[in-house]
Chains A and B, each alone.
Chain A
Amino acid sequence: MIHTSLSIVGGGPAGLCAAIEASKRGVDSILFERFDQLGGQLVKQTHKFFGSQRQYAGTRGFDIASKLERELHESNQCQTKLNTTVVGMYPNHVLTVSGPEGYQKIQSEAIIVASGASERYLVFENNDLPGIYGAGAVQTLMNQYGVLPGKRVVMVGSGNIGLIVSYQLLQAGVDVACVIDAAPKIGGYLVHASKLRRRGVPIQTSRTILRAEGKSQVERVITIGLDQAWRPIPGTEETLECDLLCLAVGLSPLTQLLSMGGASMRQIQELGGVVAVEGNEGQTTLEGIYVAGDAAGIEEASSAMVEGRIAGIRAAMQLGHGLPDDNHTLQQLEEELQGLRRGPFGAKTRIGLDKLREEKHA
Chain B
Amino acid sequence: MGLSNESALCYDGNCESGENMRIEEHPILTFEVKKEIPFTFDGKAVVGREGDTIASALHALGILALSNSIRQHRHRGLYCAIGNCGSCHMTVNHVANVRTCMTKLEAGMIVESQPGKGRIL
Contact = CB atoms under 8 A, between A and B. Distances in A.
27 contacts: A46-B29, A118-B85, A121-B79, A129-B75, A130-B66, A133-B77, A134-B80, A136-B82, A137-B82, A140-B56, A140-B82, A141-B56, A142-B23, A145-B60, A146-B23, A146-B29, A147-B22, A147-B23, A148-B23, A172-B26, A173-B25, A173-B26, A215-B14, A216-B12, A216-B64, A216-B75, A254-B84
A172 B23 contact: yes
Contacts of A146: 22-23, 26, 29, 31
A59 to B, nearest CB: 13
B65 interface: yes
B27 interface: yes
A142 B22 CA distance: 9
Interface string B61-87: 000111001000011111111111100
B116 to A, nearest CB: 15
Interface string B1-28: 0000000000010100000011101111
Contact of B77 (A85, A132, A148): A132
Top 8 A-B pairs ranked by shortest CB distance?
A130-B77, A137-B81, A146-B31, A130-B64, A145-B56, A118-B84, A140-B81, A147-B60
B28 A137 contact: no
B22 A130 contact: no
Contact of A133 (B26, B65, B78, B104): B78
B53 A145 contact: yes
Nearest to B34: A146
A147 B59 contact: yes
Contact of A118 (B12, B25, B56, B80): B80
Interface string A120-154: 01000000111111101100111111111100000
Interface residues of B, number: 36
Given A34-B102, A134-B80, A217 B26 contact: no
Given A130-B66, A217-B14, A148 B22 contact: yes
Nearest to A149: B59
A137 B77 CA distance: 11
Contact of A173 (B14, B23, B82): B23
A46 B85 CA distance: 24
A258 B90 CA distance: 29
B34 to A, nearest CB: 9
A216 to B, nearest CB: 5
B82 A216 contact: no
A28 interface: no
Nearest to A137: B81
Contact of B56 (A60, A130, A147, A172): A147
B50 to A, nearest CB: 11
Nearest to B81: A137
B112 interface: no
Interface centre among A85, A133, A137, A254 (most CB of B within 10 A): A137
Interface centre among B12, B60, B81 (most CB of A within 10 A): B81
Nearest to B77: A130
Given A134-B79, A134-B80, A141-B56, A46 B28 contact: yes
A53 interface: no
